[in-house]
Amino acid sequence: MISTFFNPAPPCNVAVVSSSFLRFKFIPKFPATVPLSSLSTVSFRAKTTVNRSLCAPGDASVQTDFCLLKKREFVFSAALPFLLILHESVEGFKAEAAELDKREVERIREEVRKVVTKGRAPGLLRLVFHDAGTFETNDTSGGMNGSIIHELDRPENKGLKKSILQEAKSTLDLIRPVSWADVIVVAGAEAVSICGGPSIAVDLGRLDSEKPDLEGKLPEESLDAVGLKQIFSRKGFSTRELVALSGAHTIGGKGFGSPVVFDNAYFKILLEKPWSSNGGMSSMIGLPSDRALADDDECLRWIKEYAKDQNVFFEDFQNAYIKLVNSGAKWRS
């Protein structure tokens, strides 16, 4: 219970309230039964006796203005404790919602971890890239919306499967329905982490698309550096982010170091250019688009930076991943 005391000092030549002070008690309840929109019209009434003998003659309009001013101050002062309580309650609600979101993320991670292995990590990370990679800034089409589930029969998605995550999603849906987009995003983050990469915190609440995205939106493996920069620019990514995201090829069968270790070996090998040698398996390392990065001066700047400092690569990859999985996403309220 909160008590508010008012003891206004009587100004000279102004009507005086006979009570020495007024006392109001507020017993706040939340949620409030009174709409917020009506707060400005709430009135407080007190029985008063006016001693008019203390009111000196003068301009009536001045006295009226003064009385209105004091009334406004009185009403505001009376309502202020309630507004502060309401503010604190709303802030508490926000904190509780944030905590709920953390628990939901952890619940999804627990289920996803049961099916994520180092051997499956490259495919899960590729699933993220192929779902989010359809985003275009010019019309905000595509993006991380779970549409990849409807696109698995396309040639560029050969080898991708939803069955790996189906069990995790089915279990989660029994507790609370979760979108394919959210499950895939969390699976990609866990794939990076289980292979020794950075821990990536992602937001949840994405909605799934009920239809596939348009075809031809993913970067082709045969693109040169100029073409890659152009298409990534249309998706809202800088050259630095392009190079950082390309570092995901450090795991998998592209030939950049260990296929199950997420590190900066990708960039070190790009600098060595082993495909330049004649014959041997070295000519099979990387895709044409990977090799093209090492021949571009702007890309080469970041390749050298990441090859020198793995921590810088981890930080940039983490930021670029979050940007990627938020691109084009539609969120539930």
Active site residues: 130
Cβ-defined contacts of 172-178 (< 8 Å, 24+): 172/107, 172/108, 172/111, 175/107, 176/104, 178/108, 178/204
The answer to whether the bond into 8 is cis (omega within 30° of 0) is no
> What 3-state class would DSSP assign to 294?
coil
Query: Rounded distance, CA 260 to CA 238, Å?
Result: 27
Q: Report which secondary-structure segment, H or E, holds 73.
A: helix 60-113
Query: Rounded distance, CA 303 to CA 270, Å?
Result: 8
Q: Report which secondary-structure segment, H or E, holds 4.
A: strand 2-6
User: What is the CA 164 to chain-centroid distance, rounded?
Assistant: 25
Query: Rounded distance, CA 182 to CA 324, Å?
Result: 13
